[in-house]
C-alpha cells in the first residue's frame, strides 16, 4: 500500500520512543501568543515530587508541641504517636531554631537538609496543599467553604498539585502553562524548556510547551534520544535526505506542520545533546533520586555552557521518588526514602555551587498530600499513617530566604483547630493554610512570570490575599 507524505510525517512524529518530546496534541501550539523579550540571565526550577504522600508530621516535628498536656491522648506529637511506635524520640530529631521562631526537629535521616537549613539555603513551607479558597475548620465542616476535588485520593491530589487548579480537571500543568507564557525568555534557543527525568507528566504539559523526557544519569546525554535510522550508511543518508525534504512541505496543514515541528525539534535536541559531554566533580549518591538530580545538573551544565551553543535562559525540570504511601512499616520505609531525599538534594545543591548557578536554580518538593497525625496500626513493623491533606514542603537555592518557616505550622491536636475531622474519631488531617497556587505562583514570579499573566497560569490566585509568599529574593 502506498504511503503518502502526510502519513509518513504522522508516523515519524510519533516515533520518538520512550524518551519522547511530548506535545499537546489538541492544539499543537502552532500559533504562539505574544511573548516577553529574551532574558539575559539563566533561571531554572527543579521539582522533586515525593510520590505517594510523604508524612510531613515526621519529616519536621514541632519540638514545642512534642509533648502535649499531661494525660492527653489527642494533643501533642508524642502523646498521639508514641504508643503506636510511630513517634521519633526527641533526642534523635535534628533540632533547628528558625529565625521565624519556635523550635523544630528534622527527621534524623536528613542531616544534609538540616545543614542547608542552618546555612540559610533552605526554607520550609508549612501546611501547604490544594485549596479552592481559604478554608477554616468551621467553613470546611459546615459546608460553606469550597473544597478541592476528591480530597484524600492519590491520583486526584497529584493532579491538583501538578495543575494548581483545585476546582477543575485540567489537561495542562502549571509548569507547562508557565512555559507557554515565558517561552520568549529563551529567545531563539530551540532546546525544550521543560524536561522530565521521570517520564512524561502533567505538570510540564502546556498548550504550546513540549516536554522532553530523558533517562537518568545512568544514560549519557549523548544517548538519551535514539533518533538514528536503520540500514546501511547510504540507505540512512538517503532516508534522511528524503525526510528533510518532506519536512519542508505542506506547512499550511496544522497536523503536518505539527508533526514536522516535533520531529525537527527532536533532531535539533538530539544533535545538541550528542555534541556535549559534561562532567561534574560533585559526587552524587547512586540512588534513584540521586541519578535523576545528577542528570538535571549535567543538563544545566550543557545548556548553559557557551561552547555548547544551546544557550537556554529558562528551564523547568521534574524528578520523582516513589514509595511514600506508608500505610504500614512507615518508620523504616520513610527513613530510607528521606535519606535519599536529603543526600540527593544536598549533592544537587553542591553541584549548582560547582557550576556557579546556585543563585539561579531553585529546587522544591511536592507530594500527593500529608498523612494523618493519628497512626494506622501498631508495632514498628506495621504502624503507618493514612491519607490526609496539608503537608510541609522543602525549598532550596542560593536566593532562597532560608533558615525560616513560611506558612503556619498546624496545631498538633486531634480534632483541633486545623483538623478536618470532628466527631468521636478525629484523625489529624490538616486544612492547608497556604495553597498550591500561592506556592507555585511564588516560584513562577521568580522565574519571570509577569503579574499580568499570573491569572492565566493560576486561575484561582486572586482568591488568596498573598500571591507571593516571600521565600525567594
pLDDT tens figures, 399-414:
999 999 999 999 999 9
| pLDDT confidence of residue 25 | 32
Q: Residue 37's domain is classified under what CATH number?
A: 3.40.720
| pLDDT confidence of residue 248 | 62
Question: Is position 236 within any domain?
Answer: no
| Cα–Cα separations (whole angstroms), residue 148 to 153, 166, 177, 241 | 11, 5, 20, 53
Query: What residues have CB less than 8 Å from 293, skipping those under 6 apart?
Result: 46, 48, 197, 284, 319, 344, 345, 347, 348, 351
Confidence of residue 7 (pLDDT cuts 50, 70, 90): very low
Report the alpha-carbon distance of residue 224 to residue 126 in Å, rounded: 37
Report the alpha-carbon distance of residue 282 to residue 294 in Å, rounded: 9
| pLDDT confidence of residue 434 | 98
| pLDDT confidence of residue 24 | 33
Question: Is position 319 within any domain?
Answer: yes
pTM (predicted TM-score) = 0.88
| pLDDT confidence of residue 384 | 98
Tens digit of pLDDT for each residue in 22-60? 333 333 333 344 456 899 999 999 999 999 999 999 999
- Displacement of CA 303 from its chain's centroid (Å): 20
Question: Is position 118 within any domain?
Answer: yes
| pLDDT confidence of residue 378 | 87
| pLDDT confidence of residue 32 | 41
Instruction: Identify whether the C-beta of residue 116 lies closer than 8 Å to the C-beta of residue 420.
Output: no
Question: Is position 255 within any domain?
Answer: no
Report DSSP state, residue 307: G
| pLDDT confidence of residue 157 | 98
Question: Is position 127 within any domain?
Answer: yes
| pLDDT confidence of residue 2 | 45
Instruction: Identify whether the C-beta of residue 430 lies closer than 8 Å to the C-beta of residue 419.
Output: yes
Beta-bridge partners for 405 = 124
| pLDDT confidence of residue 37 | 85
Instruction: Note the residue count of the chain.
Output: 473
Of 94, 89, 88, 92, which Cα lies nearest the Cα of 110? Answer: 94
Element (H or E) spanning 341, and its range?
helix 330-355
Question: Is position 468 within any domain?
Answer: no
Give CA angle at 311 (185, 196), nearest 5°: 80
Question: Is position 4 within any domain?
Answer: no
| pLDDT confidence of residue 56 | 98
Tens digit of pLDDT for each residue in 152-170? 999 999 999 999 999 999 9
Confidence of residue 422 (pLDDT cuts 50, 70, 90): confident
| pLDDT confidence of residue 467 | 97
Q: Which structural domain range is residue 400 located in? A: 32-220+282-463
Confidence of residue 251 (pLDDT cuts 50, 70, 90): low
| Burial class of residue 282, CB neighbours in 10 A (0-12, 13-18, 19+) | middle
Q: Where are the beta strands (DSSP E) in 322-423?
A: 361-367, 391-396, 404-407
Determine the longest span between alpha carbons in the chain, in angstroms.
83
Q: Which residue has the higher pLDDT, 14 or 299?
A: 299
Question: Is position 201 within any domain?
Answer: yes
| pLDDT confidence of residue 48 | 98
Spell 56-85 as b/e; 16+ CB within 10 A means b.
bbbbbbbbebbebeeeeebbbbbbbbbebb
Beta-bridge partners for 106 = 60, 94
| Cα–Cα separations (whole angstroms), residue 385 to 124, 331, 367 | 22, 10, 15
For range 82-109, the mean pLDDT:
97
Beta-bridge partners for 387 = 371
Report DSSP state, residue 82: T
Domain count, the chain: 1
Instruction: Identify whether the C-beta of residue 193 lies closer than 8 Å to the C-beta of residue 183.
Output: yes
| Burial class of residue 299, CB neighbours in 10 A (0-12, 13-18, 19+) | buried
Concatenated DSSP letters of 386-410: -B-S-EEEEEESTTB--SEEEE-PP
Concatenated DSSP letters of 30-58: -SPPP-PPPPSS-EEEEEEEETT---HHH
Instruction: Identify whether the C-beta of residue 275 lies closer than 8 Å to the C-beta of residue 191.
Output: no
Report the alpha-carbon distance of residue 449 to residue 208 in Å, rounded: 16
Amino acid at each position: 500500500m502506498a504511503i503518502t507524505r502526510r502519513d509518513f510525517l504522522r508516523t515519524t512524529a510519533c516515533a520518538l520512543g520512550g524518551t519522547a518530546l511530548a506535545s499537546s496534541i489538541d492544539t499543537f501550539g502552532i500559533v504562539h501568543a505574544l511573548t516577553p523579550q529574551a532574558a539575559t540571565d539563566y533561571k531554572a526550577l527543579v521539582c522533586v515530587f515525593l510520590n505517594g504522600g510523604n508524612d510531613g508530621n515526621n519529616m519536621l516535628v514541632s519540638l514545642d508541641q512534642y509533648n502535649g498536656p499531661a494525660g492527653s491522648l489527642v494533643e501533642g506529637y508524642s502523646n498521639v504517636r508514641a504508643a503506636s511506635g510511630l513517634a521519633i524520640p526527641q533526642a534523635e530529631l535534628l533540632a533547628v531554631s528558625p529565625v521565624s521562631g519556635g523550635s523544630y526537629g528534622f527527621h534524623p535521616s536528613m542531616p544534609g537538609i538540616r545543614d542547608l537549613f542552618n546555612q540559610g539555603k533552605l526554607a520550609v513551607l508549612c501546611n501547604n496543599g490544594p485549596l479552592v479558597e481559604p478554608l477554616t475548620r468551621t467553613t470546611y465542616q459546615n459546608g460553606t467553604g469550597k473544597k478541592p476535588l476528591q480530597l484524600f485520593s492519590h491520583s486526584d491530589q497529584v493532579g491538583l498539585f501538578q495543575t494548581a487548579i483545585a476546582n477543575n480537571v485540567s489537561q495542562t500543568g502549571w509548569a507547562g502553562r508557565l512555559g507557554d507564557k515565558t517561552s520568549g525568555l529563551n529567545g531563539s534557543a530551540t532546546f525544550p524548556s521543560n524536561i522530565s527525568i521521570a517520564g512524561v507528566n502533567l505538570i510540564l504539559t502546556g498548550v504550546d510547551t513540549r516536554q522532553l523526557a530523558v533517562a537518568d544519569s545512568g544514560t549519557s546525554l549523548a544517548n538519551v534520544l535514539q533518533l538514528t535510522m536503520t540500514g546501511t550508511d547510504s540507505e540512512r543518508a538517503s532516508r534522511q535526505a528524503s525526510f528533510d525534504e518532506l519536512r519542508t512541505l505542506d506547512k499550511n496543514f496544522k497536523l503536518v506542520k505539527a508533526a514536522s515541528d516535533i520531529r525537527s525539534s527532536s533532531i535539533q535536541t538530539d544533535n545538541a545533546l550528542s555534541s556535549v559531554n559534561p562532567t561534574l566533580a560533585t559526587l552524587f549518591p547512586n540512588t534513584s533520586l540521586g541519578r535523576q538530580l545528577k542528570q538535571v545538573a549535567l543538563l544545566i551544565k550543557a545548556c548553559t555552557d557557551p561552547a555548547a551553543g544551546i544557550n537556554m535562559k529558562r528551564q523547568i525540570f521534574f524528578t520523582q521518588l516513589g514509595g511514600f504511601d506508608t500505610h504500614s512499616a512507615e518508620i523504616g520505609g520513610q527513613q530510607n526514602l528521606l535519606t535519599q531525599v536529603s543526600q540527593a538534594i544536598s549533592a544537587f545543591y553542591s553541584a549548582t555551587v560547582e557550576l556557579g548557578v546556585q543563585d539561579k536554580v531553585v529546587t522544591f518538593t511536592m507530594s500527593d498530600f500529608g498523612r494523618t497525625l493519628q497512626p494506622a496500626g501498631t508495632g514498628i513493623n506495621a504502624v503507618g499513617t493514612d491519607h490526609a491533606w496539608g503537608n510541609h514542603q522543602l525549598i532550596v537555592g542560593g536566593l532562597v530566604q532560608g533558615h525560616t518557616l513560611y506558612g503556619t505550622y498546624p496545631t498538633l491536636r486531634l480534632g483541633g483547630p486545623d483538623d478536618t475531622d470532628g466527631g468521636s474519631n478525629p484523625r489529624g488531617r490538616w486544612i492547608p493554610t497556604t495553597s498550591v497556587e500561592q506556592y507555585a505562583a511564588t516560584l513562577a514570579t521568580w522565574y519571570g512570570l509577569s503579574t499580568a499573566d499570573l491569572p492565566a497560569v493560576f486561575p484561582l490566585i486572586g482568591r488568596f490575599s498573598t500571591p507571593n509568599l516571600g521565600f525567594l529574593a
